[in-house]
């Protein structure tokens, strides 16, 4: 597991810490979404998971190895793979397959093993047909998939996604999220920083940050039932959860744990069959732009 204990971080010259007395445990095979308003410290936190940043105070350990132990930092970085928002920061090869082979090659693996890892990673992200292309001739979305392939070729135990899907089209985003599900089933822990609440709804846990602290850590259904609290933080819940909240405010309760449109439709239809919707709205008007 990854264990974070009383982590604080203050950048040099800053008057106040970005992270303050933060503790968190990330277990094997979990899909954890990390959300919060801009500037709350999400990226600073995940950069501590493989030693890109070091704590000002506290301890971060990966499978019992402290990120502060310089003798173990290479092993930690092999175990914790990271994908950032800008893929250009992670591309180093002259061709797609050369870029994916860069990481395994630095592990001094046998050429046959490197080739096998490259082939698996490119196939997983859908770039097998572009293996001989120059990386900088790829689209933004293809570059992001290439960055992901490079990390997957390292066979990480933990995968950190720091808002990497914002540049992908719907098909590519769906492919990555489906791949995340497969990785989770294989026991890989996924930590996903995102502002897309529809992506968040797929997670096992949601960790909410605000002003450098963790303010909530719970299942998606419980987090998204607190619509007013989320909006006060500047976060927009998934539309089905927001719809359920607005209906509840108008007297038609379809449940507090609605996360998908299918769940919302089924709950509304069930309430409508009992006459619940009509009764509650008989003397109320729905404002333009409302429900």
User: Mean pLDDT over all residues of the chain?
Assistant: 88
- Report the C-alpha gap between 13 and 10 in whole angstroms: 8
Confidence of residue 276 (pLDDT cuts 50, 70, 90): low
Q: Which token pair is 37? A: 């308003």
pLDDT digits (tens, 9 = 90+) for 215-252: 999 999 899 889 899 999 999 888 888 888 888 787 77
How distant, in Å, are the alpha carbons of 116, 145, 198, 204 from that of 140? 26, 9, 22, 29
What phi and psi values does residue 24 have, to the nearest 5 degrees?
-165, 145
Q: How many angstroms from the chain centroid is the CA of residue 171?
A: 18
Q: pTM for the full model?
A: 0.86
Q: Does 40 or 289 have the greater pLDDT score?
A: 40
Q: Which token pair is 129? A: 């047909």
- Report the C-alpha gap between 72 and 156 in whole angstroms: 15
- Report the C-alpha gap between 80 and 160 in whole angstroms: 7
Classify burial at 106, counting beta carbons within 10 Å of its beta carbon; exposed 0-12, middle 13-18, buried 19 or more: exposed
Q: Which domains, and CATH codes, for the chain?
A: 2-222 (3.40.50.300), 239-281 (no CATH)
Q: Which token pair is 154? A: 């390292």
pLDDT digits (tens, 9 = 90+) for 89-115: 889 999 999 999 999 998 889 999 999
What phi and psi values does residue 218 have, to the nearest 5 degrees?
-160, 180
Share of the chain above pLDDT 90, in %: 56
pLDDT digits (tens, 9 = 90+) for 123-141: 999 999 999 999 989 988 8
Q: Does 265 or 193 have the greater pLDDT score?
A: 193
- The pLDDT of residue 23: 96
Lowest-pLDDT choice from 71-80, 168-177, 225-234 = 168-177
């Amino acid at each position: 597991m990854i264990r974070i204990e009383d982590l604080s971080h203050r950048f040099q010259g800053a008057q106040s810490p970005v992270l303050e007395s933060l503790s968190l445990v990330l277990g094997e095979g979990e899909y954890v979404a990390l959300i919060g308003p801009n500037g709350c410290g999400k990226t600073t936190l995940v950069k501590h998971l493989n030693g890109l940043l070091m704590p000002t105070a506290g301890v971060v350990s990966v499978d019992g190895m402290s990120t502060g132990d310089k003798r173990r930092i290479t092993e930690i970085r092999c175990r914790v793979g990271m994908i950032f928002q800008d893929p250009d920061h992670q591309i180093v090869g002259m061709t797609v397959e050369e870029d994916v082979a860069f990481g395994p090659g630095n592990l001094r693996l046998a050429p046959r093993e490197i080739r096998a890892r490259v082939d698996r990673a490119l196939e997983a992200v859908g770039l097998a047909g572009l293996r001989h292309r120059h990386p900088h001739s790829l689209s933004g979305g293809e570059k992001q998939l290439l960055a992901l392939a490079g990390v997957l070729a390292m066979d990480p135990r933990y995968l950190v996604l720091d808002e990497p899907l914002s540049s992908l089209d719907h098909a590519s985003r769906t492919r990555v999220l489906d791949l995340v599900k497969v990785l989770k089933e294989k026991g890989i822990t996924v930590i996903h920083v995102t502002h897309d609440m529809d992506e968040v709804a797929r997670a096992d846990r949601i960790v909410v940050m605000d002003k450098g602290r963790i303010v909530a850590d719970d299942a998606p259904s419980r987090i998204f039932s607190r619509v007013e609290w989320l909006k006060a933080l500047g976060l927009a819940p998934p539309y089905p959860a927001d719809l359920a909240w607005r209906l509840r405010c108008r007297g038609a309760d379809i449940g507090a744990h609605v996360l998908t449109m299918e769940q919302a439709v089924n709950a509304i239809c069930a309430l409508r069959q009992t006459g619940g919707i009509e009764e509650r709205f008989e003397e109320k008007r729905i404002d333009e732009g409302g429900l």
